[in-house]
Structures are given as C-alpha cells and as structure tokens.
Amino acid sequence: MPELPEVETVANGVHERIRGERIEGTWFSGHREPFKASPQAMAEALAGRRVARVYRVGKHIVMDLAVDGAARHTGDGTPSPARIDVQWIVHLGMTGRLLVSAASVPVPAHTHAVLQLSSGRELRFVDARRFGRLDLRQLDENQGPGGQGFAGPGHEPLTIGAEDFARLFHGRRLSIKAALLNQKLLHGVGNIYADESLFHAGIRPTRMAGRLTRAQLEALRMALQEVLRHAISLGGSSVSDYVDADGVAGFFQLEHRVYMRTGEPCRVCKTAIKRTIEAGRGTHYCPHCQK
C-alpha cells in the first residue's frame, strides 16, 4: 500500500500538472467498490469547477475545487481568492494509481474514474484490486481546508514536535511497531517506513512503546522525519504497483536498510536481517543494531 512518501509524491505531481485546470467532464466505471460518494454526485459536483490545489492528508490525496465564475473582489477592489466549495478525496488503497495522461493515450484496464480537463488532458484513477476509495466533501461558505475540510485522523509525522510525539506513546501497552502503524496516532506511516525508521533509531520493533525513554522517542521522531523526507526526495518506494502521476517508479527501495531484506547482511554491521510478525505485519530488523 502506498504510504506517506508515495502519496505525497503523487499529490505533488498532480498539483504541479493540473492546478488551475477546469474539469470539463467526468466518467466513472460501473463498479461499486471504489466509490464512497455516488458517481452521479461526483459528476455533478466536479464538472465545471477549477482545480485550486492538490495535496496530501495522511494517506489521502485531497483536491480542492473552486467555483469557476467571475472573479470576486474584496471591499478595496482587489481580487479575493477563489472560493473552495468542493473537495475530491482519493485513497489509493493497495494498487491505486492517479495518472495525468494525454487523452490520446489508451485508457488502462481497471480505470474507474476519468476527469476530462480544459487542457485536453485527463486525470485517471486506476485500481486493479479496487481497495482504493473516491469520496466527495461539500463545503459551505464558511468552510475550507482550514475549517471543516478533510483532515483525517492522527498527527502529521513530518511536522509533529517532540512533546506531542512523546505524549502519543506514553503508557501505551503495545509494541512500538504497532503504535507507529496506528493511523489514529500518526497518519501516513505504514510498514515500510515504520521498519526503516526503527532501524535508523536503533530501536527493535517489538519494544513496548510505553517503556521507551524520552531520548529514544526523540531519536525515533527525528529518524522518522528524516526517512520520510529522504523517501519523498527519491519519489517513494516502488516495491509493488506504485508509480507517480507520470507513471514513473520511485527509487527509495534502493535505500532500504531492513524492509524486505530478510537474510541479507545489514548494511552497517553485516548481521543477517531478521523477519518476524508484529501487529499482524511482516517486520524486518537488525538484531545487532536494534536493541
């Protein structure tokens, strides 16, 4: 499943390519699974609006859409920002892809949504396993991304401070790996980046979260943020189906220290990487470097 760096990469790529575009029309497949809001409601809400911004919230991609009409002005006559009244929300699930394509490029199999843009290009949601989700949020005049727009659960890992991070795990009677995967605590962290961050922090994934010292938790917070930012800079990890908005694979899998490296030598101490099951997930660690 795409995690924070992959979703960030896709959201940034879509934003750069279609910001300011007008949605001229839509098409949705007849499958039920990807849709949390009905295709009819989406078609009515999306058509005719302009893409103001595309960004990530946790593992979700949020598209702010503005009314496409005459520019509004403030009291002093200066143009006011376009009013965001609709958000289109995409969760990639296990195999979802959000691709910006020329209309002349054949539509891939397993495409479930197509937004036809004013430039003549299309934004396509493709998902073979149909675990992804498409949703819609209507905002009233007093709402927006900073108000009642989509926020998602949990804290943002890239910006959380030391005090808040330590408070998340205080007294938790579960493994630190399980705690990192809990989206109600930190949204966007999944199996890959939990394993990689714990390695960089020198913490074994089976350690109880509530028993870690403040120094260990601060080392983990800093490792998590460093790993996530480095992964974003390399376009994420392509270990399965993930590609960016242009259909290009990421490169961070080449930097993995433990994830999916069972039996291979640790790149620091040469000890064989071990695999266990923690929180129901395959978990990879170095028995020498992680205590």
* Residues annotated as part of the active site: 2-3, 59, 281
If you compute the radius of gyration of the chain from its CA atoms, what whole number of angstroms results?
21
Using alpha carbons only, what angle is made at residue 117 by residues 24 and 125, rounded to the nearest 5 degrees?
A: 110
Contacts of 78 (CB under 8 A, 6+ apart): none
Three-class secondary structure of residue 265 per DSSP: strand
Q: In angstroms, rounded to a whole number, what is the distance separating the alpha carbons of residues 128 and 96? A: 7
Contacts of 285 (CB under 8 A, 6+ apart): 195, 198, 199, 204, 205, 258, 273, 274, 276
Dihedrals phi, psi of 231, to nearest 5 degrees: -65, -40
Cα distances from 82 to residues 118, 138, 164, 262, in angstroms, run 18, 15, 34, 51
What count of other Cβ atoms lies within 10 Å of the Cβ of residue 253?
A: 18
Count, residues in the chain: 291
Give the helix/strand (H/E) hosting 273.
none
Q: In angstroms, rounded to a whole number, what is the distance separating the alpha carbons of residues 221 and 69? A: 45
Report residue 18 as tokens. 């279609």
Contacts of 190 (CB under 8 A, 6+ apart): 1, 3, 4, 59, 181
Q: In angstroms, rounded to a whole number, what is the distance separating the alpha carbons of residues 197 and 259? A: 10
